[in-house]
A and B are shown apart, each in its own frame.
Chain A
Amino acid sequence: MRPIGVLASSGSVRVSVAVCGGILLGAVLSTGEPDEPGESPRILLVERTDAGQGGAEPVRVIEVRPVPAELLRRWRQQPPTPAQWHALFPVRVADGPADRPPLAGSYCLITDGIRFEPLYPLAPGHAYVAEWRWPPERPPLRATFRIPAVEPGPPVRVLAIYPSAATLPENTLRFYVHFSGEMSRGDVYRYLRLLHEDGTEVPHPFLELDEELWSGDGTRLTLFFHPGRVKRELASREEQGPILEAGRRYTLVVRQDWPDKYGRPLQMEYRYAFVAGPAEESPIEPQQWKLVVPQAGSRQPLLVRLPRPLDYALLERFVWLENNVGQRVPATSCVGGGERLLTFNPQTPWLPGTYYLAVDSRLEDSCGNRVGRPFEVDVFGPVTRTPPLQIVRLPFVVR
């Protein structure tokens, strides 16, 4: 076996292959080396940047060359079918079942050989085996490439779980688990536990969704308790009982063996202990919020004190500031105080005059109660209907 390093040009395409220890590995010939070194075909891992796609990411392709000119001429006239290409020049992941199919991708003829471009980028940390099976009567030429793994940075840990209060209503429906990096997906419920005070598990507390509810950057998981056991009068709750019962203590555990995106376990297990309190079944009433209004000319924050905790993520999304002509006032909002305090730091000093704290009626608490509408409505009782989309505006005057 011998490593190969090549730096060459092919037509208008710049081709580079780094040697072992560089960004890429070159080809490794393991069998079937031809007798005449000058004409030996080699299998090369090539990093290719298309001049025509300015700024595009380099693409790793696999090439075999030189290929006899006569063969190339013949194939230019009558190109092999995709199946024939896969039989001639298959590229496979190095590990896996014996009958694993070759990588999906496209083949093309280049000046002196054949290029395979995988449909999906060759993945860091994986090894690939390419075979050149020509001429058919000879053993195939085989090369193995390992794509260097990406440096994953420090191990991931749980940064926080919301809601964060020490006491949660027994009808709590939703949690957010925030991580310091991107986690693996596909099996998340295996790594989450809800424990009773005595350390026994609460059976089947979570709504297990195959889709998994992750934030766009993959660092926040939304976790629902099973609504069938939170909503009253449903079969699940009638038979299994509610998940949380007021007066009892619980611990939500995020297990350490949950692998991050790179397969490493979490830095440490995370435990969030809380006591269940009485159910929260009333709608959110912004009119009850207390505003601490800053002085004109200052950049003091506007403080909004909430009589009870509301949803961490929705407070950031569904509450904002407007001026007296309905324009949004640029400000940075921050949720704190066990989700009972909302602060707005303005980008420019406050001007004297009337402002509005705008609240989208879709704002919820962690139990699913919304502005003007509780999670569970007694349809036979008096119900105040709230239009489905409404903005509640609370005026305040800056002096």
Chain B
Amino acid sequence: MRQLLLIVGALWAAPVGAADPGLSKGTPPLQSITALAFGPDGLLFLGDPQAGQVVVVATGDTRPAGSQAVNIERLDAKIAALLGVGEKEVRLQDLKVNPASGNVYVAVTRGTGAGQPALVRVLRTGEVEAVPLKEIPFAVVKLPDPGKTQREPLGAITCMAFVGGRLFVAGLSNEEFASTLRIIPFPFQQADKGTVIEIYHGSHGRLETNAPIRTFTPYRIGDEDYIIASYTCTPLVKIPVKELKPGAKVRGVTIAELGNRNQPLDMIAYSKDGREYLLTANTARGVLKIPTEEFATAKPITSRITDTAGVRFEKIENLQNVVQLDKLDDARAIILVRTGSGFDLRTIPLP
């Protein structure tokens, strides 16, 4: 059975910094980084499925870094050179903008096999630099094990978000299909290891199945917090955060089908001209812009459909092969685009 490795203190009072008692300075025992999420004040959560843990580090990157657009051709080749390997020996796992500074962070695996975890930062000046994960303030939490029988191989952490003082972690097991969403209070505490919630997909006809969440984003509809999520089986669902309680069995309500042969890869929420939208990057359907005003009133999709259905959406035709996206500021997004030879980082106006 997993044990909570507790390196953080029980109380959390001051803003995070190198001297903050909540984090200890040292070298986090990272084995992989496949997902990133920012908390306040430059706190960065690193999803480490290989070790079955989440590590939080204080980046110290807390001041606005400027407003320049960031455009870098062949970001993968530059990162490979920085990390001392060939272009085919890095995998870009996740990309997030630090809201405190506007700098862009990239989780990387260095090597062709299991490899080594690396964290890279793209500054607003366009400079690409490695973030040393040594002698930094950090804390670790072992992910809560839903069972008490044996070690649970985690497989993959597919998405993380910090919402209302809690870290939401979506993952896929590399054995059972049954899905879990983990919710971990922060600062990490010995007493409350977090909650494991089984998520079901129950809005098609009369069948209900386990449904792993592929990606999600927090979103507020009216006075209520939701997560808008996509399952591995494609549909876009909304799940009220208040339902995510220990032991709960939660069904997402399907509000859109984004087409077959398709998987949402990443999603962000934003406002433009007084209206709110969701922007999703997809494997087959490109980048979709979805007005969210119908989310509150959308009727759950409960009947068979042939391709797409539910709330309206618009395909952004000039954005192709986008594999990662995040909000850069109120008017722009940063996207990672797969090109014929590698990956480019580009700044685009929010559509």
Contact = CB atoms under 8 A, between A and B. Distances in A.
A166 interface: no
A298 to B, nearest CB: 27
Contact of A235 (B89, B172, B265, B306): B306
A14 B172 CA distance: 47
Interface in B41-97: 49-50, 74, 77-78, 80-87, 89, 91, 93
Interface of A: 92-93, 95-97, 99-104, 106, 118-123, 126, 128, 173-174, 182-186, 204, 207-218, 220, 222, 224, 226-228, 231-236, 238-240, 259, 261-263, 311, 313-314, 317-318, 320, 358, 360, 362, 364, 368, 370, 375-381, 388-389, 391
A301 B250 CA distance: 42
Nearest to B132: A119
B155 interface: yes
Given A227-B232, A364-B176, A376-B208, A388 B153 contact: no
Chain B CB count within 10 A is highest, among A122, A128, A375, for: A375
Contacts of B9: none
Contact of A103 (B82, B247, B323): B82
B260 interface: yes
B260 A368 contact: no
Contact of A185 (B49, B84, B112, B176): B112
B242 interface: no
Given A185-B113, A228-B234, A370-B178, A233 B84 contact: no
A95 to B, nearest CB: 7
B159 to A, nearest CB: 10
B326 interface: no
B178 A96 contact: no
Given A210-B323, A211-B93, A375 B209 contact: yes
B234 to A, nearest CB: 5
B83 A377 contact: no
Contact of A259 (B112, B177, B247, B263): B112
B84 A314 contact: no
B209 A318 contact: no
A243 B211 CA distance: 18
B204 interface: yes
Given A120-B84, A120-B118, A96 B112 contact: no
B209 A231 contact: yes
Given A126-B86, A211-B157, A388-B146, 15 more contacts: A104-B129, A121-B84, A174-B177, A213-B156, A213-B172, A217-B114, A224-B232, A227-B232, A233-B207, A238-B260, A314-B176, A358-B149, A376-B208, A377-B209, A388-B247
Interface string B154-197: 01111000000000000011111110000000000000000000
26 contacts: A97-B77, A97-B78, A120-B130, A123-B85, A211-B155, A211-B156, A215-B174, A224-B177, A231-B201, A231-B209, A232-B207, A234-B204, A235-B259, A238-B260, A311-B175, A311-B176, A358-B149, A360-B147, A360-B149, A362-B176, A362-B178, A364-B177, A378-B208, A379-B202, A388-B198, A389-B147
A389 B263 CA distance: 30
A313 to B, nearest CB: 5
A211 B158 contact: yes
Interface in B204-256: 204-211, 231-235, 247, 249
Given A213-B155, A216-B50, A235-B260, A228 B84 contact: no
Closest 5 CB pairs of A and B: A104-B130, A100-B81, A211-B156, A236-B260, A261-B113
A155 to B, nearest CB: 15
Nearest to A377: B208
Contacts of A216: 50, 114, 153
Nearest to B175: A313
Contacts of A118: 84
Contacts of A185: 91, 109, 112-115
B260 A239 contact: yes
B116 interface: yes
B194 to A, nearest CB: 15
B348 interface: no
B280 interface: no
A376 B209 contact: yes
Nearest to B207: A376
B113 A238 contact: no
B207 A377 contact: yes
A227 B201 CA distance: 12
A324 B309 CA distance: 55
A354 to B, nearest CB: 20
A320 B149 contact: yes
B128 A101 contact: yes
Contacts of A99: 78
